[in-house]
A and B are shown apart, each in its own frame.
Chain A
Amino acid sequence: MIELRKLTKSYATRQGRRYVFRDLDFRFPDGVSIGLMGGNGAGKSTLLRLIGGIDMPDSGAVLTDARISWPVGLSSGFQRDLSARENVEFVCRIHGATGASLRETVAYVRAFADIGSWFDLPMSTYSKGMRARVAFGLSMAFEFDYYLIDEAMAVGDPQFRRKSREAFAQRMGGAHMILVSHNVADIREYCDAVVLLEAGRATLYEDIEAGLAAYEGSDGPPLRTRRRGRLVADDPAARREARERRQALLRTERDREPPAP
């Protein structure tokens, strides 16, 4: 259960206070993965942070009895002077993993990130990609009811992306996600319902296509699927065709990958 009760969040700007939400009441449907959509500045990321408990509303509350992750792939919590191992250990400890459980989690992240002995060097020496690998592996190492994802699905090289997808699929067996994305393909692949944010209001679409069509009608950026001059979401045959094209693309990408060591 995730419920927003009289949620108000505003930012002070030079032109006075700007409200993102004002007394927003909303209940997310249980047991489904949700695509959070809306135009730029509609408050998707803000809402995600509020749900994750890492940002605070001006008033009102987010009520939940579920275990909610931090935003997947987030690396701002890393201390750059410490190694990936030390940072991972820190996150384990605050989540109550000690002893054998801690060692197991560290071993998993180390194997997942696959950055070799860099794992024990300070994170300030890492490349952006290496940091992202550690961050994603860390997110996958913990079990939550909801994973919060802010457009960070595709990091790293193709091989790592596939590994991420596999880990994600495993996790999604017993969990759900709240995904912020402008990418229609991602929403279709992962989500069961769409919540559209517009002018400080949230609207639930249990039918994805209806939600995507509403999103298309909103002030958001144009859908990627529109580039051929027709709206894919309107037409089941075109939708099927688009899905097949995507899968074919995925297959060729996979064939191009270097062989396993």
Chain B
Amino acid sequence: MAAHPLPLPGRAAPTPRRSPWEIQKAVVFALFIRELRARIEGRWLGLLWTVAEPVAHLSIIMTLFIAVRHVVRPGIDAALFLATGLVPFFLFRNISLRNADSVRQNFGLFSYRQVKPFDTLLSRTLVEVALSSLAYTVVLAALGWWGIDVWPARPLELLAASGVLIALGFGLGLTLMVACTERPRIRTMVGLAFVPLYLLSGVMFPLNGVPREWLDWLLLNPLVHLVDLMRQGFAAGYPPLPGAGLAYPTGWALGLLALGLCLYRVERRRLIAST
């Protein structure tokens, strides 16, 4: 044992009086790093797996579809068609479901008073977007190397659709997170609902062959609009799905965000309270 006590760290935090914005920034950044580290588990293999998972998924489905000469819409390559459907759909699914679980999985963190449930949602969304962008880049680079033109024809429209998709996922995740605190079974039901949603969103097969009266029903799903808009953003020759537009999914996103924020505001105390 040293004769002298260990000198305390000098001007250590908490620094006097940070503004709410500074605290928010610091917390989201800290959570982002932590979440990322937990996800990739500090190993190269972890990072590899994060990218390899969607790539593996993609290659299996692509092999299946192309091998059986599945009918794909003209004007877009089959592989690009699948990639531009699968990656955004997985991003949407991961954002909403992971955010729904974020309070339960991060409960210990609320022992630090700076950390609020909303911060864990923001940071998880950022992590998902970052990892998904990485996976997207890898997939597109691979397709490009394969000789497919992957350069987006309308990058701004692509970005707008991606933004709406992220907002939609976040709004759904926020709503689910609050709802699941009181009714945990909702989480299970929504998890199951993602399977039919996967099939009905036009991720794997084109919807242009669908009869008009059925298409109207399918177009109620905002993901159909977004996935189609993203494909339009990539391939110049891609014929747009009639009735697909940005306004409808934007309405969904804003509605879900408003609902989620209201619920969060009402329940913000109960979310981290012991009961």
A52 and B1 form a contact (CB under 8 A): no
Question: Nearest residue in B to A171 (C-beta to C-beta)?
Answer: B8
A166 and B5 form a contact (CB under 8 A): yes
Q: Is A56 an interface residue (CB 8 A)?
A: yes
Q: With a CB–CB cut-off of 8 A, which chain B residues contact A140? A: 8
Question: Nearest residue in B to A68 (C-beta to C-beta)?
Answer: B113
- Nearest-Cβ distance from residue A67 to partner chain B, whole angstroms: 6
A-B pair count, CB < 8 Å, reads 132
Instruction: Please report which residues of chain B, range 26-41, place their CB below 8 angstroms from some CB of chain A when the two chains form the complex.
Output: 26-27, 29-31, 33-34, 37-38, 41
A143 touching B34 in the complex, CB below 8 Å, given contacts A70-B112, A91-B112, A94-B112: no
Since A55-B272, A143-B12, A171-B8 are in contact, a sample of 17 more A-B pairs with Cβ atoms closer than 8 Å, ordered by chain A residue number, is A49-B274, A55-B273, A57-B273, A67-B14, A68-B113, A77-B111, A77-B112, A83-B42, A86-B37, A93-B33, A94-B27, A95-B26, A97-B12, A101-B9, A108-B6, A108-B8, A143-B8
12 sample A-B contacts, Cβ–Cβ < 8 Å, listed by A number: A54-B113, A57-B269, A58-B269, A71-B111, A93-B30, A101-B9, A101-B11, A105-B12, A108-B8, A141-B12, A163-B6, A167-B6
Question: Nearest residue in B to A143 (C-beta to C-beta)?
Answer: B12
Contact of B14 among A96, A104, A167 (CB under 8 A): A96
Instruction: Please report which residues of chain A, range 136-178, place their CB below 8 angstroms from some CB of chain B when the two chains form the complex.
Output: 140-144, 159, 162-163, 166-167, 169-171
Interface string of A60-102 (1 = CB under 8 A from B): 0000000110110010111101110010011111111110010
Q: With a CB–CB cut-off of 8 A, which chain B residues contact A108? A: 6, 8-9, 12
Question: Nearest residue in A to B111 (C-beta to C-beta)?
Answer: A77
The count of residues in chain A whose C-beta lies closer than 8 Å to any C-beta of chain B is 56
| Chain A residues in the interface with B (C-beta under 8 A) | 11-12, 46, 49, 52-58, 67-68, 70-71, 74, 76-79, 81-83, 86, 89-98, 101, 104-105, 107-108, 111-112, 140-144, 159, 162-163, 166-167, 169-171, 257, 260
